[in-house]
């Protein structure tokens, strides 16, 4: 099975993602992601930046919706099955005491810093790698997305769905002949 495409054809450019500074609050990240999603509906994650020299911003990680929900879950009072249910329903559906606790828990979660949530040491791959190499790394790291770098700069992201579509195209070409 021949795989003629290179990784560059699969990279989603960094400019297409919403960004948030690692020192911002989770509430700010949620707002930025919501605002982005209301207009684009393409990505359910954002790139995390750190201020470099001057006005330069360096991409240092990825923050996903799952990362945010896991942090909010961790900051609720119970650890049973119903805390997600409490967050998902309107706060007015519950008694005053429960509503107060939930509001307090969520406020604490929204005040967390992005840098405290994002996965440590996200996997970077070089833009010169093949899609097959990127797939191997993604599987080994159990990651849905990988930051793609050229030199010292992150230029984009390769996502699991992009690699799956790549494999599908190669499979279809191989079946045709």
Is the CATH number of domain 7-75+112-176 3.10.580.10? yes
Averages of pLDDT over runs of 10 residues in the chain (177 residues) are 67 92 93 85 86 81 89 64 53 50 62 86 91 93 93 92 88 82
pTM of the model: 0.76
- 16 alpha carbon, distance to own chain's centre: 13
**Does residue 173 contact residue 32 with C-beta atoms inside 8 Å?**
no
| 46: nearest Cα among 160, 147, 163, 153 | 147
Q: Say what the pLDDT of residue 69 is.
A: 86
């Amino acid at each position: 099975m021949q795989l003629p495409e290179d990784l560059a054809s699969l990279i989603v450019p960094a400019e297409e993602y919403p960004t948030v500074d690692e020192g911002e609050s989770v509430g700010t990240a949620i707002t930025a992601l919501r605002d982005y999603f209301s207009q684009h509906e393409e990505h359910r994650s954002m790139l995390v930046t750190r201020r470099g020299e001057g006005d330069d911003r360096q991409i240092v990680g990825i923050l996903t919706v799952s990362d945010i929900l896991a942090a909010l879950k961790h900051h609720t009072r119970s650890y049973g099955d119903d805390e997600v249910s409490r967050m998902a329903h309107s706060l007015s559906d519950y008694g005053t005491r429960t509503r107060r606790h939930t509001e307090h828990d969520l406020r604490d979660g929204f005040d967390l810093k992005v840098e405290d949530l994002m996965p440590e040491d996200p996997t970077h791959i070089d833009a010169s790698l093949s899609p097959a190499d990127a797939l191997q790394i993604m599987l080994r790291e159990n990651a849905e997305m990988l930051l793609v770098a050229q030199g010292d700069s992150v230029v984009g992201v390769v996502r699991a769905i992009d690699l799956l579509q790549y494999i599908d195209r190669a499979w279809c070409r191989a079946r045709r002949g």
